[in-house]
Amino acid sequence: MLSATLPSLSAGFVYPGDPGWDEARSAFNLTLDQHPAAITLPVTARDVAAAVRYARAAGWRVAPQSTAHNQGALGDLSDTLLLNVQGLQDVHVDPGALRVRVGAGVRWERVVGRLNAYGLAALHGSSPDVGVTGYSLGGGIGWLSRRYGMQANAVTAIELVTADGALVRCDHAHHADLFWALRGGGGNFGVVTALEFAVHPVDELYAGALFFPYERAADVLHAWTRMLPHLPDALMTWVTLGHFPPIPDVPAFARGRSFAIVQGAFLGAEGDGWELLRPLRELGPIRDTFANVPPIVLADLAMDPLDPLPFHLTHHLVDALPIEALLQRSDLSLMQFRHMGGALHRATADAGVRATLPGEICAMALGVVMDEDSGRAVRRSLDAFDAALQPYRAGDYPNFVEEPSDGSRYFAPEDWQRLRAIKRDYDPTDVFAGNIRIAPAS
Ligand SMILES: Cc1cc2nc3c(=O)[nH]c(=O)nc-3n(C[C@H](O)[C@H](O)[C@H](O)COP(=O)(O)OP(=O)(O)OC[C@H]3O[C@@H](n4cnc5c(N)ncnc54)[C@H](O)[C@@H]3O)c2cc1C
């Protein structure tokens, strides 16, 4: 029995059937079950190193995980140790240096409030519940991305345990190849134990949402898409077409109702922001929450669900929207369209492998699944959403891919060859199973 030969770990392993097994293998998307060989929940970097060595001795692969928000991408976990870093919870903010250091298990919710107190903001996304690590390793697009780019490229140092059990610190000057690969290459190169990243001074910004009845979705989308080419990088806007369930977690005014919502965040003066949104305001929103607000407001602006839920999801990066075809899919719980471009299209010299993302709009759709029948109906609707967008596709964003996929489709051929060579250098026997698949170069 393997557990009899466990190395000494301050947090142990959990095996199928053990008390706590179901809790340890639970994930954000309730349609998916994780069935690894074992799970370990380390609380120190040394625990992580011991667990990696142990898994190798047992002949297992290692799948690093933080919050399980992207577990669908991992696929089959048999003969795999699920190494969940949620015990690594340190957060340190250095406001003078505009730097943050977090343990690999930290969710954005533990960072944004602390930064807010110093008049600082990070490049987090729509949900405070998402983990800093998976988000950063895959790219990371949020409210400030058109101005400041992806979170992956705000990362200044990464500490990780590599396949030989060594704790390595990488940055621009140390293991620079590995540092490049990690910032976009996901969990393929080791188990991250800590991340450091740059943040931005943001005392206040003009942010909020314009709510329209769902029936106005066509007008809203037409007005919004006409505006996009003229908007400055300092303004990020999303259109969300959503049916809100009648549950207490949803704000009272939205409970059980459907809306076309334009959400936005503008790093600029209120008057300028108001003017930029004028074409949408002229459509007559029934609720307008835009105001000068502290950056902590961005954590909840999208009103993402915080509790796990059962859903299927799809997305595309596109250059245009076939609005009428998409509105045929109003049966879906949520369709969301995020303005891309700006800094997301500009590579900086020191960026990682995920330097930019293509497309003018990120189009995403999600259907909540209540039973097998509704699951099939959601799949059919998502397939129709995919088909409508196919002619306009510019690419994919790996963090929004919820099934196992070959990483080659996300990178330019030369970057892909370099990623595989770095994988061979640091993980020649392919111990680490990431959320996108990168096989070592042969
Ligand atoms: C409700 C919701 C809202 C979202 N909003 C946004 C958004 O606004 N913008 C955006 O860009 N993305 C968004 N995402 C996608 C999100 O960025 C990805 O799901 C991301 O992978 C989640 O990271 P995680 O660490 O929370 O999840 P996990 O499932 O724990 O991790 C995802 C992957 O990251 C890697 N990883 C995690 N921890 C480690 C580690 N310690 N060492 C090595 N590898 C590791 C692994 O490969 C793992 O499979 C959202 C997802 C959800 C479910």
Q: Taking a C-beta distance cutoff of 8 angstroms, is the pair 430, 61 a contact? A: yes
Q: Is 399 in the pocket of ligand 1 (CB under 6 A)?
A: yes
User: Can you give the pLDDT at residue 332?
Assistant: 98
Residue entry with tokens 């409970």: 255
Does residue 383 lie in a domain region? yes
Q: Find out whether 432 and 62 touch, Cβ atoms under 8 Å.
A: yes
Residue 279 CA to ligand 1 center (angstroms) comes to 35
> Are 179 and 284 within one domain?
no
Mean pLDDT over all residues of the chain?
Answer: 95
What is the rounded CA–CA span in Å between residue 396 and residue 67? 22
Q: How far is CA 22 from the centre of its chain?
A: 24
- Asked whether residue 419 is domain-assigned, the answer is no
- Model confidence at 121, pLDDT cuts 50, 70, 90, reads very high
Q: What is the pLDDT of residues 56-89, one digit of tens each?
A: 999 999 999 999 999 999 999 999 999 999 999 9
Q: Which residues contact 174 (CB under 8 A, 6 or more apart)?
A: none
Please tell me whether residues 337 and 303 are part of one structural domain: yes
Is 439 contained in some domain? Answer: no
Burial class, 119, CB count within 10 angstroms (exposed 0-12 / middle 13-18 / buried 19+): middle
Same domain flag for 231 and 150: no
- 289 shares its domain with 386: yes
CA angle, 169 then 172 then 177, to 5°: 80
Candidates 83, 150, 435: which one to mutate for ligand 1, based on the most atoms within 8 Å of Cβ? 435
pLDDT at 247: 85
Q: Please say if the pLDDT value at position 3 is more than 50.
A: no
Compute, in angstroms, the gap from residue 399 CA to the centroid of ligand 1: 6
Same domain, 71 and 194: no
Last-in-domain residue among 178, 201, 224: 201
408 lies in some domain: no
Residue 274 Cα to ligand 1 midpoint, Å, equals: 33
Q: What pLDDT, on the 0 to 100 scale, is given for residue 391? A: 98
pLDDT at 10: 42
Q: Confidence band (pLDDT; 50, 70, 90) for 249?
A: confident
Measured in angstroms, how far is the CA atom of residue 133 from the centroid of ligand 1? 7
Average pLDDT over every residue of 40-46: 95
Report residue 255 as tokens.
Answer: 């409970």
**Å from CA of 391 to ligand 1 middle:** 28
Residue among 252, 263, 254, 152 at smallest CA distance from 207: 263
SS3 for 55? helix
Is the per-residue pLDDT at 316 higher than 90?
yes
Both 180 and 210 in a single domain?
Answer: no
Please identify, among 171, 201, 231, the residue that sits at the C-terminal boundary of a domain.
201
CATH of residue 181's domain is 3.30.465.10
CA distance 17 to 32: 18
Q: The domain spanning residue 14 has which CATH number?
A: 3.30.43.10
Position in ligand 1 atom list of the atom nearest CA 433: 47
Could you give the dihedral angle defined by the CA atoms of residues 370, 301, 146 and 307, in that order, rounded to the nearest 10 degrees?
A: -40
Which atom of ligand 1 is the closest one to the Cα of 160? 42
Q: What is the mean pLDDT of residues 399-403?
A: 94
19-38 pLDDT per residue, tens: 999 999 999 999 998 999 99
Minimum-distance ligand 1 atom for the alpha carbon of 139: 11
Mutate to test the pocket of ligand 1, among 29, 80, 130 (most ligand atoms within 8 A of CB): 130
Question: Is the CB of 67 within 6 Å of ligand 1?
Answer: yes
Residue 7: the pLDDT is: 44
- Is the pLDDT at 410 greater than 60? The verdict is yes
Whether 410 is in a domain gets the answer no
The protein residue with its alpha carbon nearest to ligand 1, atom 44, reads: 187
Percent of the chain with pLDDT over 90: 95
- State which of 25, 30, 71, 133 you would mutate to test the pocket of ligand 1, scoring each by most atoms of that ligand within 8 A of its C-beta: 133
Assess whether the C-beta atom of 141 lies below 6 angstroms from ligand 1.
Answer: yes
CA distances from 56 to 61, 81, 162, 432 (A): 7, 10, 12, 10
Q: pLDDT of 218-235, one tens digit each?
A: 999 999 999 999 999 999
187 lines ligand 1 (CB under 6 A): yes
Indicate the helix (H) or strand (E) that contains 62: strand 61-65
Mean pLDDT of 324-338: 97
Three-state SS for 116? Answer: helix
CA 132 to ligand 1 centroid distance, Å: 7
pLDDT bracket for residue 8 (50, 70, 90): very low
Residue 105 in contact with residue 75, Cβ under 8 Å?
no
pLDDT higher than threshold 50 for residue 325: yes
| 412 domain-assigned | no
Taking only the tens place, the pLDDT of each residue in 140-154 is 999 999 999 999 999
Report if residue 421 sits inside a domain: no
- For residue 237, the SS3 value is strand
pLDDT over 80 (residue 9): no
Domain end call among 67, 84, 101: 84
Q: Are residues 190 and 295 in the same domain?
A: no
User: Domain total for the chain?
Assistant: 3
- Does residue 222 belong to any structural domain of this protein? yes
CATH number at residue 236: 3.40.462.20
110 plus 65 within the same structural domain: no
Q: How much is the average pLDDT of 11-22? A: 88
Residues near 234 by beta carbon (within 8 Å), at least 6 away in sequence: 146, 147, 266, 267, 268
Token code pair at residue 4: 């009899």
Tell me, yes or no, whether 79 and 173 share the same domain: no
Q: Do residues 184 and 312 share a domain?
A: no
More confident residue, 10 or 271: 271
Give 36's Cβ-side CA count (13 Å radius). Answer: 27
pLDDT at residue 292 in the model: 98
Name the band, by pLDDT with cuts 50, 70 and 90, for residue 383: very high
pLDDT of residue 248: 84
Q: What is the pLDDT of residues 171-227, one digit of tens each?
A: 999 999 999 999 999 999 999 999 999 999 999 999 999 999 999 999 999 999 999
Ligand 1 pocket member 440 (CB < 6 A):
no
User: In this structure, are 265 and 331 located in the same domain?
Assistant: yes
Whether residues 257 and 389 share a domain: the answer is yes
Q: Is 381 touching ligand 1 by the criterion CB < 6 Å? A: no
The residue range of the domain holding 256 is 205-400
Question: Which residue, judged by its Cα, is nearest atom 40 of ligand 1?
Answer: 192
CB atoms within 10 A of CB 334: 18
First to last CA, the chain: 34
The ligand 1 atom at the shortest distance from the C-alpha of residue 141 is 11
**Cα 225 from chain centroid (whole Å):** 24
What is the Cα–Cα distance from 339 to 239, expressed in whole angstroms? 9
Residue 5 pLDDT > 60: no
> Is residue 251 over pLDDT 90?
no
pLDDT recorded at residue 236? 98
Examine the pLDDT at 4 and tell me if it is beyond 50.
no
